[in-house]
């Protein structure tokens, strides 16, 4: 990219919600289904039908708004966005143009070790269109209206993002938040999260924004990255050669990796928004909002901060454990039983998460329960068992007999370490007696041999000597030689 330019990006993120029924009628809103089986007179746009908003749709909007620190507007209104397309049966989409349900707010994103605040302009309620199938028939398109009317939230950001990397971080944070809030799976591949990207460029230090282009309907982060990078490059080249960027709606072609205008200016969409006469304003009372606030789950950012600040985990481990709510909550529960948070983090990351991925199961159904895990961590912390004996020998045995107490099992397997002085001194004497040559080298000043003696000692003890005590006692003995 040419030096001296800055890319300015704003997003419109569409989140498809996991309510049971659709936004304005009672059709099944879940993903899939045989074509046109989740439709009714309302979603088909038949004359004489009336829409009625879904309480859960409204509640989800409030939940997301509260999580992002938005102002929740007690009065919001519904508008019609008019355009003709075969998968839009009514000829308009119900949306909120003038008075959206949430205004303001921000989402924190992590870039490297820093945090950036991306301001939210507003969140509004709207409904999805149906699905067009273009590749089934050579001369016609097929329309499946199962998705028509499925509830969406559109999150519109301020132009606060500066790179494809930041867009990626924003989308990941939004998906994580949606999952924590249990309002959407945020799955871009299945289309439950999509984004339109507004891109402009300006010279560094310039305060006004350049003319922006909107890239529509990006349904994967990989495409979004490529589209943004290509488009920024295209605009910079135009400016560099003295031309102007024309405001346009663009389509990104993943095959060629290029953007191209969707429609020329003369045909530019004129959506003729106007208040929907079928829908009176949406009026919320504070009790409704407060009841949602009182049931808010912990949020990913809070969890991440708790893991780094309170539990002392590395940024990497904290991010890994905070990625999913169920894992985060399990880990928090574990840490309520043990003070050894870092060892607990390693245990969950190295032993439990692989099991969960393999078995597609919740961590709470892991065969070894929380009390036994807590006990195991305590045994290690107390130097009663070495880390390697704990995970290489005791752990497999525990998996076979998950009901056993780790201490009892370690005892019966003869894995417990000892700091018994007589036992250790006997071992030291044995080691020194077996290697007279090394002992005399040590006396002549080859101090590095201490490690060799220690290794021999641990081998002889079969891992049962407490290394801390043994090191101290060995050192004492060697110094006295």
Partner 1 sequence: MQIDEALIFRLEQLTRLELDDAERQELLHDLNHILELVEQMNSLDTTDVAPLAYVNAASTPLRNDVVGPQATPEQALRDAPRAADNCFKVPKVIDL
- Of 461, 478, 396, the residue nearest 422 (C-alpha): 461
Contact between residue 95 and residue 289 where contact means Cβ atoms under 8 Å apart: no
If the CB atoms of residues 99 and 418 are measured against partner 1, the closer one turns out to be 99
Min dist CB 41 to partner 1, Å, is 7
Q: What is the DSSP string of 335-373?
A: HHH-S-HHHHHHHIIIIIHHHHHHHT--GGG-SS-HHHH
Contact between residue 188 and residue 220 where contact means Cβ atoms under 8 Å apart: yes
Using CB under 8 A as the criterion, which residues of the chain lie in contact with partner 1 when the complex forms? 19-21, 25-29, 34-41, 44, 52-58, 77-78, 82, 84-86, 98-99, 133-134, 136-137, 139-145, 216-217, 251, 262-263, 270, 272, 275, 277, 279-283
CA-CA distance, 102 to 120, in Å (whole number)?
A: 9
If the CB atoms of residues 13 and 279 are measured against partner 1, the closer one turns out to be 279
Min dist CB 105 to partner 1, Å, is 23
Min dist CB 144 to partner 1, Å, is 5
DSSP-based three-state secondary structure for 72: strand
Min dist CB 139 to partner 1, Å, is 7
Contact between residue 178 and residue 193 where contact means Cβ atoms under 8 Å apart: yes
If the CB atoms of residues 139 and 189 are measured against partner 1, the closer one turns out to be 139
Min dist CB 125 to partner 1, Å, is 11
If the CB atoms of residues 136 and 479 are measured against partner 1, the closer one turns out to be 136
If the CB atoms of residues 40 and 211 are measured against partner 1, the closer one turns out to be 40
Min dist CB 50 to partner 1, Å, is 10
If the CB atoms of residues 281 and 402 are measured against partner 1, the closer one turns out to be 281
Min dist CB 183 to partner 1, Å, is 12
If the CB atoms of residues 268 and 399 are measured against partner 1, the closer one turns out to be 268
* 382 CB-contact burial (10 Å; exposed 0-12 / middle 13-18 / buried 19+): exposed
* 210 CB-contact burial (10 Å; exposed 0-12 / middle 13-18 / buried 19+): buried
CA-CA distance, 473 to 432, in Å (whole number)?
A: 13
DSSP-based three-state secondary structure for 311: coil
Q: What torsion do the CA atoms of 330, 332, 336, 339 make, to the nearest 10 degrees?
A: 110
């Amino acid at each position: 990219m040419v030096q001296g330019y800055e890319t300015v990006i704003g997003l419109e993120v569409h989140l498809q919600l996991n309510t049971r029924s659709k936004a304005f009628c009672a059709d099944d809103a879940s993903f899939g289904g045989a074509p046109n089986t989740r439709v009714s007179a309302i979603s088909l746009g038949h004359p004489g039908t009336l829409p009625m908003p879904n309480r859960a749709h409204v509640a989800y909007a409030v939940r997301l708004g509260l999580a992002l620190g938005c102002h929740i507007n007690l009065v919001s209104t519904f508008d019609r966005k008019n355009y003709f397309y075969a998968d839009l049966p009514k000829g308009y989409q119900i949306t909120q143009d003038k008075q959206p349900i949430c205004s303001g707010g921000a989402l924190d994103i992590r870039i490297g070790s820093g945090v950036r605040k991306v301001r939210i302009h507003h969140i509004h309620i709207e409904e999805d269109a149906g699905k067009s199938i273009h590749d089934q028939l050579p001369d016609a398109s097929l329309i499946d209206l199962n998705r028509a009317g499925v509830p969406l939230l559109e999150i519109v950001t301020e132009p606060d993002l500066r790179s494809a990397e930041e867009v990626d971080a924003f989308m990941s944070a939004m998906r994580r938040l949606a999952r924590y809030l249990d309002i959407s799976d945020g799955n871009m591949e299945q289309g439950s999260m999509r984004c339109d990207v507004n891109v402009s460029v300006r010279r560094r230090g310039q305060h006004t924004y350049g003319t922006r282009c909107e890239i529509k309907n990006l349904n994967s982060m990989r495409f979004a990255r490529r589209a943004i990078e290509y488009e920024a490059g295209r605009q910079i080249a135009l400016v560099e050669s003295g031309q102007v960027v024309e405001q346009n709606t663009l389509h990104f072609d993943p095959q060629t990796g290029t953007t191209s205008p969707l429609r020329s200016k003369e045909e530019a969409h004129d959506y003729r928004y106007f208040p929907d006469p079928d829908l009176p304003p949406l009026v919320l009372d504070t009790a409704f909002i407060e009841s949602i606030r009182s049931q808010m789950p912990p949020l990913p950012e809070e969890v991440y901060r708790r893991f780094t600040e309170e539990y002392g985990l590395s940024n990497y481990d904290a991010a890994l454990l905070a990625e999913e709510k169920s894992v985060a909550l399990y880990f928090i529960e574990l840490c309520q039983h043990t003070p050894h948070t870092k060892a607990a983090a390693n245990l969950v990351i190295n032993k439990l998460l692989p099991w969960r991925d393999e078995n597609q199961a919740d961590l709470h159904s892991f065969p070894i329960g929380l009390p036994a895990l807590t006990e195991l961590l305590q045994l290690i912390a107390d130097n009663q068992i070495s880390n390697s004996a704990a995970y290489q020998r005791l752990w497999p045995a525990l998996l076979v007999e998950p009901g056993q107490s780790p201490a009892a099992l370690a005892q019966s397997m003869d894995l417990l370490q000892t700091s018994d002085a007589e036992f250790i001194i006997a071992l030291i004497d044995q080691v020194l007696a077996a290697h007279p040559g090394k002992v005399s080298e040590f006396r002549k000043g080859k101090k590095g041999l201490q490690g060799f003696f220690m290794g021999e000692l641990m081998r002889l003890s079969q891992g049962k000597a407490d290394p801390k005590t043994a090191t101290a006692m060995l050192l004492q003995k060697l110094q006295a030689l």
